[in-house]
Amino acid sequence: MRHWSAGVGLLSGPEWALPERFNIGVACSDAWVGAGRTALIHERADGGVERWSFEVLSEASNRLANLLRAQGISRGDRVAVLLPQVPEAAIAHLAAYKLGAIAVPLFQLFGPDALEYRLRDCGAVAIITDATEKLDGLDLPALRHVIRPGPGWLDAASPHFMSVDTASEDPALIIYTSGTTGQPKGALHAHRTLLGHLPGVEWPQEMFPRPGDLFWTPADWAWIGGLLDVLLPSLFHGVPVLAHRAQKFDPEFAFALMAKHGVRNAFLPPTALRVMRGVARPMATSLRSIGSGGESLGAEMLEWGRETFGLTMNEFYGQTECNLVVATSAGLFGSRPGWIGRAVPGHEVTVLEDPDDGEIAVRRGSPSMFLGYWNRPEATAQKFQGDWLLTGDRGAMEDGWFRFIGRDDDVITSSGYRIGPGEIEDALMRHSSVAAAAVIGVPDALRTERVVAVVVAAPGAVVDAATLQEHVRSRVAAHAYPREVHVVDSLPTTATGKIMRGVLRRQFSEEKV
């Protein structure tokens, strides 16, 4: 199979030359059978190491595709993947794509409310997970099959599978993204999204791939950053990916892990880099490229990166609906502290209204752009202004460079995660002690923003902050619980009753000054 890159075949000048037929599962496993390459290096929790060849990965994903088909799962059905950074997660994705089904990655730290909403919203008919206890008590009428990976789980299935012939435009996966109001929306992506990501991986990873490359990220493969910035592009290019199931990010262990395996390329979110900066004696690594995204690193972080790794860390920008559209590549055109990069080849990006402070937008036609929100045509329409996809981010543009200013809505960026206030507010409102709730993000030196809850107590009730924090942690997700809980007599609202989160952000940000 022909493999495309930013320089060969995929782009002809500024225009895309996409294949009419394309399947992510085939391109990321079957295409490398016979090449003698390693696909995955898995460091288990006990320190043992497993190496998976593309031959083994291809066969395992074929077996799972056959198992899914035997259970009546077919093209267009939604298959949820609730697994951490383990080979089975990669197998599950590739099998779903080969079957023509739609993969739905889910974060392991999600609580029951978050899982139930997403599984019901997409109508998942199957889920592949080693955390089946998380499904207990959930109301999931469409879910027919729960598949738990384990010893011999694929032995009975055939290793031979004829993949479904999918078009580049056919749907491949749904990734849920947090919005300003209400519950998260499912961004539906086509098989072509992988091809659209490739130039945005190659730039910040300094013309990836090169001989000897080995990619790792602490970001979970359930997020677009872990899945489409690292795992799938690496497999597409025949580059091995290091997998490790970490319960919590440990900066010293991160240095040791990369040194042990000779990691050459890494995606390290800004929060991870800030924590790693606190390591007194960082272990030397073999890294040749580091990409980071979500916010500008700044001159001090860039200098620390040069001193620690002997390289200039690159930055990139995008969002779940249209990812990796702006990036830096120090080897190609240097870096500019405070600026997140230039438009990646093949993507037309601008700043609407005012180039000094306007909304960052991407023109239709980028293959990494989503097909639309799952079953949300009105929300999809609102995401566009004519031919421009509106990111909701404020930015500036100067001499082809982009600077990220901040969110134009109320989405919270914390520790690399995009957190929607609506889902947390809904969980808080379900607690008997809360009459009204607003959730905001306030500036935080380590996390970018920390989640803060502002609540009005129910009549006669006493609000206990620790109880509410645990309520959100257990019902929604551990990364989304409020680090602070403030009790007020009333919430500021507009004439139509909409919560004025901006007023609360200013109030509780100023209180920390």
450-493, pLDDT tens digit by residue?
A: 999 999 898 899 999 999 999 999 988 888 899 999 999 888 86
Spans of all domains in the chain = 20-35+53-190, 412-510
Q: Where is 454: in which H helix or E strand?
A: strand 448-457
| CATH code reported for the domain at 412-510 | 3.30.300.30
Q: How many CB atoms lie within 10 A of CB 301?
A: 18
Q: Is the CB of residue 5 less than 8 Å from the CB of residue 207? A: no
What integer pLDDT is reported at residue 377 of this predicted model? Answer: 97
Instruction: Name residues whose C-beta falls within 8 Å of residue 391's C-beta, 6 or more positions apart in sequence.
Output: 319, 321, 322, 359, 360, 361, 362
Q: Is the CB of residue 42 less than 8 Å from the CB of residue 86? A: yes
Q: What percent of the chain has pLDDT over 90?
A: 72
Q: Is the pLDDT of residue 495 over 90?
A: no
Average pLDDT estimate for 118-124:
98
Cis status of the peptide bond prior to 233, with omega within 30 of 0: no
Give pairs for 256-262: CB < 8 Å, separation 24+: 256/283, 257/43, 257/216, 258/216, 258/285, 258/286, 258/287, 259/283, 259/284, 259/285, 259/286, 260/43, 261/41, 261/43, 261/214, 261/216, 262/214, 262/286
Q: Where is 50: in which H helix or E strand?
A: strand 49-53
Q: Is the pLDDT of residue 503 over 70?
A: yes
Q: For 113-117, 233-237, 366-370, 410-414, which range has the lowest pLDDT when averaged over its residues?
A: 410-414
Average pLDDT estimate for 150-169:
97
What integer pLDDT is reported at residue 4 of this predicted model? Answer: 42
Architecture of domain 20-35+53-190 in this structure: 3-Layer(aba) Sandwich (3.40)
- 171 versus 394: the higher-pLDDT residue is 171
Can you point out the beta strands (E) in 151-297?
171-177, 185-190, 215-216, 241-244, 265-267, 289-293
Q: Where is 450: in which H helix or E strand?
A: strand 448-457
Q: What whole-number distance in Å separates Cα of residue 382 and Cα of residue 37? A: 45
Q: What percent of the chain has pLDDT over 70?
A: 93
Residues forming beta bridges with residue 300, ordered by sequence position: none
Average pLDDT estimate for 107-129:
96
Q: Is the pLDDT of residue 499 over 90?
A: no
Q: What is the pLDDT of residues 208-258, one digit of tens each?
A: 999 999 999 999 999 999 999 999 999 999 999 999 998 888 999 999 999
Q: What is the pLDDT of residues 394-416, one digit of tens each?
A: 889 999 999 887 666 677 888 87
Q: Is the CB of residue 159 less than 8 Å from the CB of residue 91? A: no
Average pLDDT estimate for 320-332:
96
Average pLDDT estimate for 56-84:
98
Using alpha carbons, select from 426, 463, 455 the residue that is nearest to residue 438. Answer: 455
